[in-house]
Structure 1
Amino acid sequence: MSGPALEVAEVSASHSRGTGTRQVLAPLSFSLPAGQTLAITGESGAGKSTLAEIILGLRPPATGQVKVHGEAWVGPRRPVQLHQRRLVQGVPQDPSAAFVPRWSIRASMAQAISRLVPGGNARELISMAAQLAQLEMALLDRRPQELSGGQLQRAALARAVAVQPHVLVADEPTSALDPRTAEQVATQLFSAASPTQGASPHETYPPYPGLARPGHLLVLIAHRLLLRSRRTGLGRRPDQRGAYAAAAIRAQPAKR
């Protein structure tokens, strides 16, 4: 495999309305090396979830393309290929969406491995994933509704990494958790990139527990990339745009 773990080149998105279209994400580009993490932040409606959906292959971009380790992943007229599906996995904001309600956590994970990693040793992959997510092995035999919020979020993380993805995308994975549990889950999420040798973008909105940990930061405002930063976090300022101003102190404006 060659190239960055994740490469986004001139990707944009738009919605059709009647005879016209409305741009919901202006063209943007960035790349993320293997083993690195990226936080995508910005105001509500800035395009964070749209970008996450494109990276996950859930919707095609209007322009541009996404590559994973130098290989085409998704483009305007190129949907994700089935044999590539495991390469990019997501941790949803609602972790229950990752599981079949009537199945145990183990059964859902085994089904995903069977479908996305043909010939993979499900027992070993599930065990390694549970250890990485710090999920107690006994919880694997419970159904989603039998777990607490924090336990279910860890289970969703374990399910995502069990298929050995190259890129892990998290959509506000700690927004529904209490601060202590959110910090623990964020720590596990950020640590997941290195063992999988992949990259891990996180779509979030400030303030976010552990946001200073990512090595890279993108800030979106009004559907556009405001700034790109490396190894910086979001500070707290009393003014309305304080979070973005604080981030800009150590960040260089994104190149146009």
Structure 2
Amino acid sequence: MSMLLTKRLARSLWRTKLRLSAVILMVAVGVFAGITFGAYANAAVNLYDEIYDGDEGVNLPDVWIENSIGTWNESTSNDLCQSISSEWPESELTLQDCEPRLILNGLMYHTNAEGEEKLVPGVWHGIDEGEVDSVWMPTDSDMSSGRLATSQTEIVIDSHAALGMEIDVGDTIVLGAGHGKKHYTVVGIGFHSQHLYFSQEGVMLPAEPGTFATGYMTDTGLERLANLEAGSSNRLLIDITGTPDYDLQSTDKNEGEQL
């Protein structure tokens, strides 16, 4: 009889111990998650305050128009911007700029530490004026360095990709887009508003190191890579003067004037 009671007591204590361990584990996970997300939120707030702030910010486009099936030539994109300017309604939302941009999917031919060449999917931005949605290269950060690309053989590599593939300023990389394959000199490492969450389009999870790359070159540099005529673009970036509050169509709330 005493043996049976002892076994029951042992089982009861074991179940209690398991429940207590589960509770402690859940509390530990909750505390860790709270600290992690709190630190991320604080860092993100500071990052976004800086990246969008003043003359040193990226100047996000308020509206963009995308050609998803091809590219416009220089004459067509200029005509579109002129039409947008002339048809712009009179309101407090004043048109500041309409800037053509060329953005293409491509490849990076990357040689890893074992000497094996890998084809890494990438997105290349050909930036002409760069007044709207510019590359962000904070001078007080260890995650960026160098300068913007100024010639057609230079490129700025996104900091995420540079870190994941151990690319430094001064390195030569090989890129592809369309039927082209060219060498580029890395003159800078920076960030871009479209790739702050560093993942491929349509993928929820962030890219693993060495599996995705983005780079920012001159418009002539990307035209050279993709064998396109001068002035080609597939996106129009429209900027409104200042930072007005306007109604976001994706929400039920009325944030301001409809754009």
Say yes or no: TM over 0.5.
no
- Higher Rg of the two aligned structures: 2
Please, what TM-score do these two structures have when normalized by structure 1? 0.23
Under a length normalisation based on structure 2, what TM-score does the superposition of the two structures give?
A: 0.23
